[in-house]
Copies of this chain bind each other. A is one copy, B any other.
Amino acid sequence: MTTLDHVLDLAALPAAEIPASARRIARFSLYDWMVCGLAGVAEPLAVRLRQVIGAEGGHPVAQVFGGPALPARAAALVNGATSHALDYDDTHFGHVGHPSVGIYPAALAVGEAMQASAAAVADAFLLGAEASVRIGMLLGAVHYNRGFHQTATAGAFGATVAAGRLYGLGRAEMRAAIGLCATRASGLKSQFGTMGKPYNAGIAASNGVECAALARAGFTSAEDGLEGPQGFIPTHSDAPVSAGLWDDPPPGRFRFEEVKYKLHACCHGTHAMIEALAAAKAANGLTPAGIAAIRLRTSPRWLKVCDIKAPRSGLEVKFSYVWLAGMVLHGIPTAADTAYTDALARDAALAAFAGKVDVQGDPSVGDMQAEGEIVLTKGRMLPFAHDLAAPIPAAVLEASLRAKGRGLLGDRAETLWAAVAGLDRLSARDLGARLGAA
């Protein structure tokens, strides 16, 4: 079986065969995605995008975060970018990308247009996300390192699958939709640090809606847009990783379940350290004054990303191990985006504490791991370690996500949580209505 065959099977998987564990995670992602989208509505790029795309007008079938309803493709574009504006959404490390921001906007917009149930939206998202994660893994590190952004590229295929399922595409139509996506998908990492990065998520989502809609209307395309001659994979990766890719196919384990949530409003590369230090602090009642030194070992790849020694702004604090370590030990919450003020970068106590923190790259430490020792002033040495890949019990994850939501949105987050918890009683339009009202 080709990858395309697997993806077509996945797209058509009966709802009854979707594993409950994967469905639960997809709903956590739905809540987290809506929280990120609502928290992003005032970001300049979101405002500008609503202005440009909103000015086009059109039949208002799908709700936009903080804005009016728009046609499905337009809503997907705006919602993708808006929900990625804070860069606080979920991450899948195997896929190397952010599944929800590229795929949920397509699923919800088409779900609203087709008057689907909210549960059907979440299921379509999940199957699209699973396809996207596998395609991202197939494109591999070569794709990412060459300069492509899986969130946008692999994400577009996930958005196509999700949109196509909600449009009710047959197998031949879904094949055409994926073929069209092969020629439509794009997205580069050179956008990082600019509004182009959140735009990439919107690109994925809008491409998915457009390609699925064209296939639904009878558009034809390449037989195998993924791995066929001059398909997306051979043109966009020099070394696709197909070995074992589908060894654990549905209805077995969904690789999407490995998705991780950002619980701190800073670079994902710092999260393992934050979790490890927070646990050590809680377990040992540590105070900043009692600490002589912290020796952190992290993956060498993060040193280029989040090891700013003397941050000059709140934004740079998000990419500073030494500052963030001090925030944890001083009990400054790292979850709310509003914590990262420019004043924080000038805080004398944090600057002094930063001098105690030594950061070393260690190739034996994985991307999702952190480890090291805390040396107490009394001489004792406390080892610390955390692996973001370690499973989190659902109840703990729920509590953490709800705390993150409250930090960003206040009480409104609890209303959102109640909606997601009662998803089986809602329509896609009920869900969409939560995006608009302030």
Contact = CB atoms under 8 A, between A and B. Distances in A.
Interface stretch (A131-139, A218-226, A256-264): A218-226
A225 B217 CA distance: 34
Contact of A203 (B48, B184, B191, B221): B184
A51 interface: yes
A183 B185 CA distance: 10
A185 B186 contact: yes
Given A52-B213, A57-B71, A188-B231, A199 B218 contact: no
Interface string A259-272: 00000000000000
The 7 closest A-B pairs by CB, nearest first: A147-B230, A58-B58, A56-B71, A186-B186, A190-B230, A147-B235, A196-B221
A166 interface: no
A121 interface: no
Interface string A269-301: 000000000000000000000000000000000
Task: Count copies of this chain in the complex.
Answer: 2
Contacts of A55: 59
Interface of A: 44-45, 48-49, 51-52, 55-59, 71-74, 146-149, 152, 179-180, 182-191, 194-196, 199-200, 203, 213-214, 216-222, 225, 228-232, 234-235
Contacts of A179: 190-191, 194, 196
Given A48-B219, A184-B203, A190-B231, 12 more contacts: A44-B218, A48-B218, A56-B73, A58-B71, A149-B183, A179-B194, A182-B190, A183-B203, A184-B186, A194-B220, A195-B220, A199-B214
A341 to B, nearest CB: 22
Contacts of A187: 183
Contacts of A58: 56-58, 71
A235 B183 contact: no
A190 B48 CA distance: 35
A232 B188 contact: yes
B219 A199 contact: yes
30 contacts: A44-B218, A45-B219, A48-B219, A49-B219, A51-B217, A52-B213, A52-B214, A52-B217, A55-B59, A57-B57, A57-B58, A147-B229, A179-B191, A180-B196, A182-B190, A183-B187, A183-B190, A183-B199, A188-B222, A188-B225, A188-B231, A190-B222, A190-B230, A194-B221, A194-B222, A195-B214, A196-B220, A196-B222, A199-B214, A199-B219
